[in-house]
Structure 1
Amino acid sequence: MPKYPYRELGVGFDRNFRNDLNANFDDIEADVKDLDTRIDNIVADVGSSNTEIVDARYDSVNDVTHPTLKDRLDTHANEIGILDTQLADTKQNNQYYYSKNLNIPFIQEIDINKAYAYKMISYASIPTYVTDNDEATHPSVIYIPNGWNGYKYWMAFTPYANGDNQTENPSIVVSNDGKNWTLPNGLTNPIIPPINNTGYHSDTTLLLSNDQKTLYMYYRTYLYPGHGNIDKISVTSSTDGVNWTTPIEVLSTDATIERNVSPAVQFDGEKYLMWTVEILSSPKKIKMWKSDTPDGQFTFVGSSSITLPTFSPSQEPWHLDVKKINGYYYLLLNTTETGTSGTKGNLIFGKSDDGINWKLQNNYLLTYENNSEWDSALYRSTFVPYTNETRTKFKMFYSAKSTSGTSGWRIGYSDVFFDKQERIDKHNQIIASMALGVDTCTFFDTFNRADGSIGTSTSGHTWVEETGSFSIQNKHAYSSSGGNTRAYVDILKSDFEASMFIKDLGTTSGNQAWLIFRFSDGANYLRFGIAADKSISLQKIESGSSTLIARLDEKSDGKPIVLGVKCVGDNITLYLNGEEKKTATSSWQNTKTRVGIQTNSSEVKFKNLIVK
């Protein structure tokens, strides 16, 4: 029975729309398959069954007999075309509507409490117009999978050379991988010139028009007392990313009364919405504004309801970015220790149905650290949604600076995933199935036995303690001797897959946790794990000296993690939480068959080691 007529689709991109859209696609597919079957039958029996041909011309849903089979097929094609038009109209009303047919990923509803990300080992190289200085901050990124004027990623940002606000002039760079950035051909930065010590610019944000023809860039300007003492938001636009229009002021306030920073702009299907952080109020407020056009005057809608999770010291909003994705508003909020003007920043996600009332993550995504690493203090950051056939993520571009180092203001890239716990659970479920005899492997150990010496693994292999002592405590393996500790088993094969759950890294700086393999003795082996500097590294140990072979981009955050390796000959593939990250090459010890664990601290807890 034909499924047509299909469900009517509204303009609002809510749950009902998504459910009806998915159902329509299923019905269309069923109808097309049914029609194909009928045509196949007709072709097979042509010349012997006039009845089937007549039947194929009859539309039982609308009780219409078409004069020819072609006429009926044309009618169905038109109906499907109408649905495609409705779909396209809905896309116009949603900044981040995604469909396979458009070669753009479809983002499912996201549980922000599952969001996790890692700080990164290094920052991106962003070319700036400032001579001999490439410090950069205030990123805003849009992602167009099919590209816009030749590039998939467009970033607006401001340089911030040595903290000099006179260099904070909005600039544009582009990329096709989100990691390597350059200028579009013909562009000279900055696209907004400096205002010569009468004030300064900051806080860029990008918006691509619904028809994807025009790119808008909003930015903030503060004029000093004696030069107006105002805070204002302006917008400029371009159809090629190179030639930009004269800026138009869209929001202005007396800076003695109200100061709005860090604008973010999205289209909700009817209005253009802008969010700002008002920094004169105490506590600081997130405000929402609206306009009928992208370059019209924005008027006040209301202040947002924000309840930050408990955190010490106390936090307040500082900068933000907002994206509308499939009917929900997602907020990436930069908070800071109260009264520190953004110098001790954290990052946290929020989600809202209406853009006013926000529910934030239970815990912060990335947090301030008082150290010399380039991203110890987080600042204004941005994100874009992305998915493949198996995973949804946000690509996050975060700005930060070192608290005590010399790296200055930088922009880095980190993936935000929402399935870390599921992937850890999957690892642990695999070993559970092995313990039940449902699955097979070369070696596994749950460490799920009585407290005492490390003894014999779950799979029956005897652990050999090469240096120091490992013990079992509360169903985990740990170094009972403290200090450098190694233990191994012989799996009798040099090509294998291994994964290990590090349940707890402890709280002491410099703690290490390693999966050791192709182990000959304490002075010669390979290891993959967490180093003293929090890097996640593959190292070669030869004659007791370590040499770096490969290092992941991510840094350990001290939280539970699954690390894995796959060894095939000289090729070693590295995994983080079940995701393939890098493949390295090393012939060192490639015939050795011992696998084990190593740590330098009794605080580290190992769990569920698997070798296949």
Structure 2
Amino acid sequence: MPGPYPYEPFFAVDPSNVANVATNAQIVVYAPGDPTKTPVDLWNLSRTMPLPNPFATDARGFAEAPLHDTLPVLVWDGGGFSNTIVSVQGLKDDAEAAAGASQASADSAAVAAANATAAVDANMSAAVADAQSAADSAATSAALVNAPADNVTAALVRNPATATAAALDASIGPVAAGKIESRLADYAASLRSVRLELATYDGNPSTTHPTVVDAGVAGWNGYRYWMAHTPYPAQARENPSILASKDGVNWVTPAGLVNPVVSYAQYTGLGYDYGSDPELVLVGSKLVMFHRPSSELNGVKKEAVYRMESSDGVTWNSPGVKVLEMPTLNASLIAPSISYDGTTMTMWVVNGDAVPLRIDRRTSTDAGLTWSSPTACTLNSGSHVPWHIGVTKMGGVYYMASNSKAAPANECVLLTSTDGLTWNIVKGSALPRSGDWYDAYGYYRTCLIPSTAMPGRFDVYASTMTSVSGQRSISLYKSFDWVSSGNTSLKAAVDAIKALDDPYKLIDSFDGRVSADSNIGMPDIGPAWVPVNVASSAVRLLGGVMFLAQGATPSGCHLSSNVETGNGELSADIIARPSGQVDCGLTARYLDENNFIGASLVISIDNTTTNRLRLKTRIAGVETTLIDVTNPGFVRGTAKRLKMKIVGDQLAAYVAGKQVATATIPPSAMTALTAATKVTCQGYNDNTSGFDNVSFKAL
């Protein structure tokens, strides 16, 4: 009997609409085809204890990853939704077993048939009709077992002539048929953030600068998670406050605690203008908080870092002990972030008084009471300028989430280091925007917590902004797959499977390439990019985002790729990052700069109500506006997903997943563009447009 079959962490999402999640819902899991929906026996992944069935999802719709002894496919129902889940790893294990048995018993067609049948679900028995077809399946399974991973595998899969593609089709494809879209929906839903509802001491919900510690399953003083944050705007409100949570999503003020734990009166009594930038660390049985008062009173600059502690999270020795002081500076200890291994604390700060800004590192061997002299870090991050940072360590690697001070401002950049001194950028603009109001202006300080539910991922607490001086919020990305680019992940596996039946013509994350001018590079999948009406030196790759530094050319500038299949149907997704006065978007059925169909976001210099979405054609150099939508939910300096879709002569445009415009393409344009074979990212006017996560797909 094959198995057991491990499953991914359970996520109860509506397969037809990822916006619908069964939160705090009773879920029953049963065998496919069982009309009585009888609960099956489930175990934890180590098979050391049974799991309840039915069971309840948490406030985010998640539940523990299950294991079943014999079934590679299960069905769940609850919360008004139902879906099928597939144990891909279990099926791959079966494929490995089938391949080994096939090689060892090549002279026995009967053995090969049995092994091949074990590699697929029982529902596939009709497809494996005889010993010869079973032997073929086992042989292709062997090709799958030894296939290289990630992008190489994806490339092999996209060529149906390869043994790898045949192996996936034989051992996974039939079982997963019809389930791929729902699995993609599961993954997409895991990338959505939730805005946390956090209590503040004055009732104003605007707050920022989260720092979170995870005390593990055992917890600390009744709670697993503890957070410090500072209400803001208004410096008089920027006073560290403490919250606690059992699940990392729902936060409360612990009984007996009075926030803030350091008051504005205490800061001014110490001779400072305001407090800021808390950082929490668990040290043995105590919760330690570092915080940063700063001042520029009467032209005299000074700043410090104080250390305070609590044995219960309620009573604190406020304001604590001064452990660092800069008597003539007020911006050299910005956003202290600390990693602690039980012996040594390592602190990183942004030195805003340095020119250019830099990150300094200090260490302490007495739990943060005394600190070494600073050592300047090396940042291999192109033109990224750090402002507020959050650092954690996972698997021997340091990860830093750094808010960007310079263009593209207010984006969150991910860097890594093996020694804590030399940092390399992994992904620019690493956190997607929600498309909602609370993160329209971008991110401020971000805190990374290694996920225990899904090892290798992070729970990301990000402070968001509506504007430079507007409301602040704190959002959570649960089990966020931030570093999956170039690594084996659910997304890579699903994309590979999906490519069998639904091939993308072009995908480009712009990740994994050196940040530099003139460095367009090859897309992840698809033909090379070619600049049109713009010098290659004006095409700039920065932290995983591609920028067009265009001039005011009449026909605009384009980054073109020859990916469309003749006059076929095509959809295209981009994330456009306009700044200043700009017209940026994408084109399809692009023949040249004077002949194409396009959708663009037109952003005014002052972000007034003239912002709009325009659907258009340009034929023989004459541009015709098909429809102009005012205020499509896009403002200067933000990042949202723009999608255009052409079906026959119908053109549709979507912003942040919502359809906002449709138009009919004139017959003359359809005729003129019959031979068009390209798509482009496009920019107009004298400013810069940025593009990320570009994909073009034939329908």
Counterparts of 1:333 and 1:183, CA distance in 2 = 28
Are 2:210 and 2:229, in contact at CA under 8 Å, matched by a contact in 1?
Answer: yes
Aligned ranges for residues 127-146 of structure 1 at < 5 Å? 127-130=199-202, 132-146=203-217
1:168 deviation in Å? 0.6
1:185 deviation in Å? 1.4
Task: Name the SS of the counterpart of 1:192 in structure 2.
Answer: coil
Deviates more, 1:221-230 or 1:192-201: 221-230
Match of 1:287 in 2: 360
Are 1:120 and 1:412, in contact at CA under 8 Å, matched by a contact in 2?
Answer: no
Are 2:302 and 2:330, in contact at CA under 8 Å, matched by a contact in 1?
Answer: no
Are 2:433 and 2:439, in contact at CA under 8 Å, matched by a contact in 1?
Answer: no
Counterparts of 2:221 and 2:278, CA distance in 1 = 20
Match of 2:460 in 1: 396
Shift in CA distance, 116/382, structure 1 to aligned 2, threshold 3 Å: farther
1:115-164 per-residue CA deviation (whole Å, 9 max, x = no partner) reads 9999867622111001x41110111011223122121211101111xx21
Counterparts of 2:197 and 2:230, CA distance in 1 = 14
2:247 to 177, 181, 201: 177
Match of 2:9 in 1: none
Match of 1:409 in 2: 472
Counterparts of 2:397 and 2:287, CA distance in 1 = 22
Match of 2:496 in 1: 429
Match of 1:206 in 2: 280
Counterparts of 1:481 and 1:206, CA distance in 2 = 49
Number of aligned residue pairs: give it. Answer: 362
Q: Do residues 254 (structure 1) and 321 (structure 2) align?
A: no
Match of 1:330 in 2: 399
Shift in CA distance, 432/324, structure 1 to aligned 2, threshold 3 Å: closer
1:126 to 198, 204, 209: 198
Higher relative contact order (CA 8 A, sep 6+): 1
Match of 1:316 in 2: 385
Are 2:306 and 2:321, in contact at CA under 8 Å, matched by a contact in 1?
Answer: yes
Task: Name the SS of the counterpart of 2:236 in structure 1.
Answer: helix
Are 1:309 and 1:363, in contact at CA under 8 Å, matched by a contact in 2?
Answer: no
Give ranges in structure 2 of 5+ residues lacking alignment. Answer: 1-186, 504-562, 571-587, 600-613, 616-637, 661-689
Shift in CA distance, 317/454, structure 1 to aligned 2, threshold 3 Å: closer
Shift in CA distance, 409/530, structure 1 to aligned 2, threshold 3 Å: farther
Give ranges in structure 1 of 5+ residues lacking alignment. Answer: 1-114, 437-447, 456-470, 485-506, 517-521, 523-528, 540-556, 562-603
Are 2:243 and 2:253, in contact at CA under 8 Å, matched by a contact in 1?
Answer: yes
1:481 deviation in Å? 10
Task: Name the SS of the counterpart of 1:426 in structure 2.
Answer: helix
Are 2:414 and 2:427, in contact at CA under 8 Å, matched by a contact in 1?
Answer: no
Counterparts of 2:279 and 2:380, CA distance in 1 = 25
1:291-339 per-residue CA deviation (whole Å, 9 max, x = no partner) reads 22124121214110113235xxxx422111111223222211112117x
Shift in CA distance, 407/126, structure 1 to aligned 2, threshold 3 Å: farther
Task: Name the SS of the counterpart of 2:276 in structure 1.
Answer: strand
Are 1:145 and 1:152, in contact at CA under 8 Å, matched by a contact in 2?
Answer: yes
1:5-55 per-residue CA deviation (whole Å, 9 max, x = no partner) reads xxxxxxxxxxxxxxxxxxxxxxxxxxxxxxxxxxxxxxxxxxxxxxxxxxx
Shift in CA distance, 250/454, structure 1 to aligned 2, threshold 3 Å: closer
TM-score by length of 2: 0.45
Task: Name the SS of the counterpart of 1:430 in structure 2.
Answer: helix
Task: Name the SS of the counterpart of 2:277 in structure 1.
Answer: strand
Counterparts of 1:245 and 1:133, CA distance in 2 = 26
Counterparts of 2:639 and 2:200, CA distance in 1 = 39
Return the letter of the residue paired with 2:451.
Y
Are 1:369 and 1:376, in contact at CA under 8 Å, matched by a contact in 2?
Answer: no
Return the letter of the residue paired with 1:215.
L
TM-score by length of 1: 0.50
Match of 1:157 in 2: 229
Identity within the alignment, %: 24
Match of 1:525 in 2: none
Q: Over aligned residue pairs, what C-alpha RMSD do you find?
A: 4.7
Return the letter of the residue paired with 2:473.
R
Aligned ranges for residues 377-526 of structure 1 at < 5 Å? 377-388=442-453, 392-403=456-467, 408-415=471-478, 416-417=480-481, 418-419=483-484, 422-431=489-498, 433=500, 450-453=565-568, 511-512=642-643
Return the letter of the residue paired with 1:429.
A
Match of 2:127 in 1: none
1:367 deviation in Å? 8.0
Match of 2:47 in 1: none
Shift in CA distance, 217/454, structure 1 to aligned 2, threshold 3 Å: closer
Match of 1:353 in 2: 418
Task: Name the SS of the counterpart of 1:203 in structure 2.
Answer: coil
Counterparts of 1:227 and 1:377, CA distance in 2 = 31
Counterparts of 1:326 and 1:473, CA distance in 2 = 46
Match of 2:290 in 1: 218
Shift in CA distance, 117/158, structure 1 to aligned 2, threshold 3 Å: farther
Counterparts of 2:288 and 2:640, CA distance in 1 = 45
Counterparts of 1:329 and 1:508, CA distance in 2 = 27
Shift in CA distance, 515/158, structure 1 to aligned 2, threshold 3 Å: farther
1:53-87 per-residue CA deviation (whole Å, 9 max, x = no partner) reads xxxxxxxxxxxxxxxxxxxxxxxxxxxxxxxxxxx
Return the letter of the residue paired with 1:154.
W
Counterparts of 1:560 and 1:423, CA distance in 2 = 18
Match of 1:168 in 2: 238
Counterparts of 2:639 and 2:287, CA distance in 1 = 48
1:90-131 per-residue CA deviation (whole Å, 9 max, x = no partner) reads xxxxxxxxxxxxxxxxxxxxxxxxx9999867622111001x
Task: Name the SS of the counterpart of 2:292 in structure 1.
Answer: strand
Counterparts of 1:431 and 1:370, CA distance in 2 = 26
1:388-412 per-residue CA deviation (whole Å, 9 max, x = no partner) reads 36x53111111121127x8511111
Counterparts of 2:565 and 2:329, CA distance in 1 = 67
Counterparts of 1:530 and 1:151, CA distance in 2 = 46
Counterparts of 2:341 and 2:188, CA distance in 1 = 27
Are 2:201 and 2:259, in contact at CA under 8 Å, matched by a contact in 1?
Answer: yes
Return the letter of the residue paired with 2:260.
P
Shift in CA distance, 515/356, structure 1 to aligned 2, threshold 3 Å: same
Q: Do residues 242 (structure 1) and 309 (structure 2) align?
A: no
Task: Name the SS of the counterpart of 1:379 in structure 2.
Answer: strand
Counterparts of 2:189 and 2:379, CA distance in 1 = 22
Match of 2:41 in 1: none
Q: Do residues 233 (structure 1) and 309 (structure 2) align?
A: no
Counterparts of 2:368 and 2:492, CA distance in 1 = 49
Counterparts of 2:282 and 2:356, CA distance in 1 = 32
1:307 to 358, 362, 380: 380
1:411-447 per-residue CA deviation (whole Å, 9 max, x = no partner) reads 11124303367545434432555699xxxxxxxxxxx
Return the letter of the residue paired with 1:426.
A
Are 1:289 and 1:302, in contact at CA under 8 Å, matched by a contact in 2?
Answer: yes
Shift in CA distance, 473/300, structure 1 to aligned 2, threshold 3 Å: same
Task: Name the SS of the counterpart of 1:429 in structure 2.
Answer: helix
Q: Do residues 274 (structure 1) and 347 (structure 2) align?
A: yes
1:532-555 per-residue CA deviation (whole Å, 9 max, x = no partner) reads 3x1x5799xxxxxxxxxxxxxxxx
Shift in CA distance, 286/453, structure 1 to aligned 2, threshold 3 Å: closer
1:200-253 per-residue CA deviation (whole Å, 9 max, x = no partner) reads 1000111011x3x11111000113335973210001111211111240111001
Return the letter of the residue paired with 1:259.
S
Shift in CA distance, 472/223, structure 1 to aligned 2, threshold 3 Å: closer
